[in-house]
Structure 1
Amino acid sequence: MTAFMAVTARILASVAGMGLFVLTPTVPAAQADSCPTAEMFTAWMDKANDDGTVEETIETPEAGCVVTVTERQHPVNGTLSLTAKGGKLTLKHQNDDHYGFIKVKEGGTLSLTNVILTGADSSSTSGGAITNSKGSVTLTDSLVTGNKARDGGGIFNQGGTLKLTNTTVTNNRAEAQQKYKSSGGGIYNSDGGTATLDNSKVTDNIAVAQRVSEDDDLNAYTASYGGGIYNSAATLVLTGSTVSGNKIVVEDGTTAYGGGIYGAEGAVTLKSSTVTGNEPDDCSGTVEC
């Protein structure tokens, strides 16, 4: 039971003249056409992890809602489904620990509909808005924007299942706190993971290659991969989707590959999709555009 969960006292019985009270935790519910609070969001996550499943449909006002969450990275071990019915529900992460926003662990399931994820800073590790470690993540009619991480500025999918439908990943940044060759400005997909994008966009994301040493010979091996998407030993399928305007920023002595998509082994399939206008190139590695 967390400090954020509402507690309801119910009298269940009276034994030997003494009242027996059982405290039953209940998850707070958002009122119709109102915005949930950060405490509600935390309570939903805790409830999903404790009891297995939480499914919430939030009647948001047409103007949308902004919920600022200040706690450190939230784990998801159970099943959490949030749907904003009305205006967009913006979940803004504001924390200085540099460990990202939501981490879906093995066996965990996260489903978000009509949601914006923004503000996460995971520059000391991977996965800005979402880290999916052998779990399942589904984003529908959603937006991942304004996040930062060492790798996977928007989303880091490691051995998990990631599905985006009518979703945009834009203006995220892969850049480390310390000197590092960051990759996957928008999405980082690796280690047997499967990422499926349907009618979605990956645009205007950035990966940064930094000099690791004053020794030019060492910097010759420093490169960043995938300004938009980095795919390594994993499966990536784009259908009716767009990858554009992404780029890799390099410091002197470093190199860049795959401004749009970089493939290192694995399989990349493009169906009726466009990869264009990325810097320094659209596709590289095992990917052909």
Structure 2
Amino acid sequence: MKTLTRPGAVSVVVGVGLSFAVVPAGPAGAAGETHVRCNDVAGLIAAINRANSGGGRITLAPHCTYTLTTRDNADDGLPEITGNVTITGRDTTVRRAPNAAQDFRILHVAPEGRLTVNSLTISGGRLPDFAGGGIWNSGTLKLNRTAVEANRAETSGGIHNVGGQLELAGSTVERNTATLNGGGIHNGRNQLLDRPGRLTMKGGSLLKNRALNDAGGGLENLRSTAHLASVTVKGNTAPRGGGINQFAGTLRLKSTTLSGNIAVTGGGLRNSFSTASLVRSSVTRNTAITAGGGIFNENSSSVTLDAGRVVRNSPDNCSPEGSVPGCTNPTGTGTPQNSASPSKGGKGRK
């Protein structure tokens, strides 16, 4: 696995004047609120820069797609979020143009930034040699009723949360791809700030994300903390930890379902040097090529099942045998004693 920490944030702040007349973003609403006309990308950029300087709410046109054709800075389609910003839409999409000549993600929240996103779709971001195809967060990011879908990067296809506070409510992370690890979400430590990531997800789903050559198809939790409640983790794939991969982290699942995920080891969950608790949660119908169809628990890790079920996984429910108290395998199911799992060419292993 590869952990990436951006060495510094590039802040873009334009003006401090309060006259909405100078912003090509449509009429203003209440104080601190800017309405941006449909697909007025220049107006959206100007509105973000204004909000960065003093905080503000940005309302996008409903049922509209804002298409970004060029990047605003080195890696991002829109200005980095350095202030307290809220962006709201209704059936609204912000995407990188499929034929854009440059590679870039959509949004980036700097360590000092706070961003709330309501009812948007973030799509089409692409960073084949870097992290966070859709969003990079090192600050505070709240996604409400938002979809992060069809983004691609080397690491963290959908969202790269490194040392930040990430909250998702009723949101979907779907069909994102990482060449290495963290197909949907990577939740990791910011090494420069010596700060772990904190992920809270309530409702919503991690669906059909892929980590092609390393670990964590739906979610990778690396040296950080993740709490998922009433979440569906389904149809994700990776060599290790198809649904969720955890290394040196703490994971709590409540009323959450891991199903239909595929990996070489740890179809539903791979847990290494970590602690995981499953409360009224189910791990079912996941598949591993070698072992740990439901849960692969290794390296002095612990998994606690509190009214949780691990059933109908293939070729076994938990591996190694007896590593998860309360988890039993079908009669005759063999579990390899060697916990080493193959790598498909990733640049590092954990």
Same fold (TM over 0.5): yes
- 2:163 counterpart (159, 163, 167): 159
Residue in 1 aligned with 2:111?
106
Residue in 1 aligned with 2:92?
89
Tell me, yes or no, if the aligned pair for 2:61 and 2:92 is still in contact at 8 Å: no
Residue in 2 aligned with 1:41?
44
Matched to 1:148, the amino acid is: R
Structure 1 residue runs without a partner (length 5+): 11-22, 176-181, 210-223, 249-255
The separation in 2 between residues aligned to 1:30 and 1:41, in whole angstroms, is 13
Structure 2 residue runs without a partner (length 5+): 1-11, 29-34, 190-195, 277-302, 304-309, 311-350
- 1:172 counterpart (176, 201, 206): 176
CA separation of 1:27/1:54 partners in 2, compared to 1, >3 Å: closer, same or farther?
farther
Tell me, yes or no, if the aligned pair for 2:36 and 2:44 is still in contact at 8 Å: no
Residue in 1 aligned with 2:26?
29
Residue in 2 aligned with 1:269?
252
Question: How many residues get paired?
Answer: 239
RMSD: 2.6
SS of the counterpart of 1:227? coil
Matched to 1:283, the amino acid is: L
Matched to 1:125, the amino acid is: F
Deviations 1:222-257 (A, max 9, x none): xx1100000001110001111110002xxxxxxx21
The separation in 2 between residues aligned to 1:70 and 1:136, in whole angstroms, is 27
Tell me, yes or no, if the aligned pair for 2:183 and 2:219 is still in contact at 8 Å: yes
The separation in 2 between residues aligned to 1:232 and 1:52, in whole angstroms, is 34
CA separation of 1:25/1:152 partners in 2, compared to 1, >3 Å: closer, same or farther?
same
Describe how 1:7-156 pairs up with structure 2 within 5 A. 25-26=22-23, 28-29=25-26, 35-49=38-52, 51-58=53-60, 60=62, 64-72=63-71, 73=76, 74=78, 75-84=80-89, 87-94=90-97, 95-133=100-138, 135-156=139-160
Residue in 2 aligned with 1:252?
none
Q: CA deviation at 1:28?
A: 2.2
Q: CA deviation at 1:34?
A: 5.7
- Does residue 237 of structure 2 align to residue 235 of structure 1? no
Residue in 2 aligned with 1:183?
181
CA separation of 1:115/1:238 partners in 2, compared to 1, >3 Å: closer, same or farther?
same
SS of the counterpart of 1:196? strand
Indicate the percent of aligned positions where both proteins have the same amino acid. Answer: 29
The separation in 2 between residues aligned to 1:150 and 1:33, in whole angstroms, is 32
- Does residue 269 of structure 2 align to residue 283 of structure 1? yes
Matched to 1:28, the amino acid is: A
Q: Which has the higher strand share?
A: 1
The separation in 1 between residues aligned to 2:178 and 2:205, in whole angstroms, is 17
Tell me, yes or no, if the aligned pair for 1:99 and 1:124 is still in contact at 8 Å: no
